[in-house]
Amino acid sequence: MEIKEVVREKYGQAALRVHSGGSSCCGAASAMDGCCDPITSNLYDSAQTGAVPEEAVLASLGCGNPTALAELKAGETVLDLGSGGGIDVLLSARRVGPTGKAYGLDMTDEMLALARENQRKAGVANVEFLKGEIEQIPLPDNSVDVIISNCVINLSADKDRVLGEAFRVLKPGGRFAVSDVVTRGEVPEEVRQNMLMWVGCIAGALGDDQYVAKLARAGFEGIDIEPTRVYNIEEARTFLSGQGVDVDAIAPQVEGKFMSAFIRATKPAGMQV
């Protein structure tokens, strides 16, 4: 519960910063100068940023671009877990067209208000932002074709429950297509904690093998994890030094081990829940 409250507070403030014309950046990485957060910046191409209101782009706090990698077809229903300011929901809504629907789910009132305002500015009708938690998705069983999410599952203290809920609401044959932070290989616990604090993963990111195991346990098949951005120690130097960490000493234990990745999986066809 405590983690959830910290997350809600942090993203509520981030949403308000967009309203007041500031940057929404709220990860530790945003302590860096200028607008060069190595995690959240430059995720979308100009065709995508041009297609949504500026505030939706400013509010973008993802670590990948699930809409670029997910296969979305006209008429499909898409659900974005932790939709924030709504950028991925608005982009998905265009992809599935007027016969499809894009839902955004978020627990933070300020983010929902921002997302709904962005929907109004974008003038898209096939979008609905729902208030709720990704551990308890307020949609029926077998009702969604594609689940997307952008840097949210790492924030949950109960990832098994989130993956179980994703499986429940997906239709048979439905696709899980999510960007998230993952770690790869052995990392000493203290180094891991410091790096994840830098990335802003409050509840902790999963190792790639743990992610695969949890998805399989939830019932998914065709599981694949594709790194999209691997972080290096120099990007985290300012933050880690400020935390009193000897960056040069831990550098060899960090290289190649912290990344954003695109995670794909499928609910088996013919599998109802």
Ligand X SMILES: C[S@@+](CC[C@H](N)C(=O)[O-])C[C@H]1O[C@@H](n2cnc3c(N)ncnc32)[C@H](O)[C@@H]1O
Residues lying near ligand X in the complex (CB under 6 A): 4, 7, 11, 60-62, 82-85, 87-88, 106-108, 111, 133-135, 150-152, 155-156
With respect to ligand X, which residue has the nearer C-beta, 133 or 208?
133
Closest CB to ligand X belongs to which residue? 84
Q: Which residue has the tokens 């067209």?
A: 97
C-beta of 156: minimal distance to ligand X in Å? 5
DSSP 176-216: EEEEEEEE-S---HHHHHHHHHHHT-SS-PEEHHHHHHHHH
C-beta of 137: minimal distance to ligand X in Å? 9
Q: Residue 51: helix, strand or coil by DSSP?
A: coil
With respect to ligand X, which residue has the nearer C-beta, 10 or 237?
10
With respect to ligand X, which residue has the nearer C-beta, 88 or 235?
88
C-beta of 100: minimal distance to ligand X in Å? 19
C-beta of 138: minimal distance to ligand X in Å? 11
With respect to ligand X, which residue has the nearer C-beta, 100 or 200?
200
Nearest to 156 by CA among 262, 1, 25: 1
Work out the angle between the directed axes of helices 189-199 and 247-254 (0-180°, nearest 10). 90
Give the Å distances, CA to CA, from 96 to 11, 66, 99, 203, 222.
28, 14, 7, 32, 23
With respect to ligand X, which residue has the nearer C-beta, 38 or 245?
38
C-beta of 25: minimal distance to ligand X in Å? 10
